Amino acid sequence: MLRAIIFDFDGVLVNSEPLILQLTQQMAAQEGWVVTPEEYYRDYLALDDRRIVEHLYQTHGRTLDPARRDALLAWKSRAYEEAIQKGLPAFPGAVEFVRHAAERYPLAIASGSLRREIEHLLAMLGLRQAFKVMVTADDCHRSKPDPEIYLRCLEALRQLPEFHPKTLRASECLALEDAPGGILAAHKAGIPCLALAHTCPAAALLHADWVVQGFGEIDLDRIALEFH
């Protein structure tokens, strides 16, 4: 039985990945590094900002400088918050899907972005109250494809009154992701995953349980029937 839905955020609900790519490139350039779009979408897509910087240090053969890492993270956070002040566009059908799903299931966010960024963008879309649980980079030590964020999200969902006394199982949740690493994180937590080909081609997402091009192709009733 399907009992809860967990959404990734960037690249699933809002079209933020082109902006994040641009800022990642600008951040890397401050150290003389180049990040191509191909590299970003292949190697960095599911990582939070801290892990992106650490991966840049690693792949360029430099010892991590924690103070410089933190300075780069602060720069990117400020630049991103300034860029999203007026909001970002939702993907077609995203707002309608969230509102429809919220009438039937408790909804959660499991995202490697910062909480204040997500809350601001959700508020701009009129969706903040649709999500009963939010687990973000602020809450986790490891980023996707590690399952930590999904395991923490599952534990938070289990505290909701809807799941007492019958506790929520991982197999009763549905994750919505747009990146191969996000799919792996959901699966490592035991959560079935639907992938939206918003950011990556569908061929890169075939390890998900369902793959669609966009929200207009999601048949939630049919998917719910496949849960046991």
- The enclosing domain of 112 has a CATH number of 3.40.50.1000
**What's the rounded mean pLDDT across residues 140-145?**
94
Which structural domain range is residue 210 located in? 4-15+88-225
94 and 150 part of one domain: yes
Q: Is 156 helix (H, G, I), strand (E, B) or coil?
A: helix
- Together in a domain, 29 and 9: no
- pLDDT tens-place string over residues 75-124: 999 999 999 999 999 999 999 999 999 999 999 999 999 999 999 999 99
- Packed helices 17-29 and 66-83: angle between N→C axes, nearest 10 degrees: 140
Quote the CA–CA distance of 45 and 39 in Å, as a whole number. Answer: 9
> Model's pTM, two decimal places?
0.94
Residues 164 and 132 in one domain: yes
Are residues 213 and 139 both part of a single domain? yes
Q: Exposed, middle or buried by CB within 10 Å (0-12, 13-18, 19+), for 189?
A: buried
For residues 30-56, average pLDDT? 93
110 and 184 both lie in a single domain? yes
Domain boundary among 55, 83, 111: 83
| Residues 52 and 118 both lie in one domain | no
Q: State whether 167 and 215 are in the same domain.
A: yes
The C-alpha atoms of residue 173 and residue 155 are separated, in whole angstroms, by: 12
Task: Sheet with 107-110: list strands edge to edge.
Answer: 133-135, 107-110, 4-7, 173-177, 193-196, 210-212
Q: To 10 degrees, the CA torsion angle through 50, 55, 57, 58? A: 140
Collapse the DSSP code of 78 into the 3-class scheme (helix H, G, I; strand E, B; otherwise coil) and give the result: helix
Query: What pLDDT, on a 0 to 100 scale, did the predictor assign at position 191?
Result: 98
pLDDT band at 46 (very low <50, low <70, confident <90, very high): confident
Kindly state whether residues 79 and 148 are assigned to the same domain: no
Average pLDDT over residues 125-141: 96
Same domain, 159 and 94: yes
pLDDT of residue 166: 95
The predicted pLDDT at position 45 comes to 87
Do residues 172 and 129 touch, judged by C-beta distance below 8 A?
no
Domain match, 199 and 154 both:
yes
Least confident of 31-45, 148-162, 179-193, 206-220: 31-45
Give the pLDDT mean for 155-179: 97
Number of domains in the chain: 2
CB 136 within 8 A of CB 115: yes
Residues 37 and 136 reside in one and the same domain:
no
**Looking at the predicted structure, is the pLDDT value of residue 228 above 80?**
no
Q: What is the DSSP letter of 15?
A: -
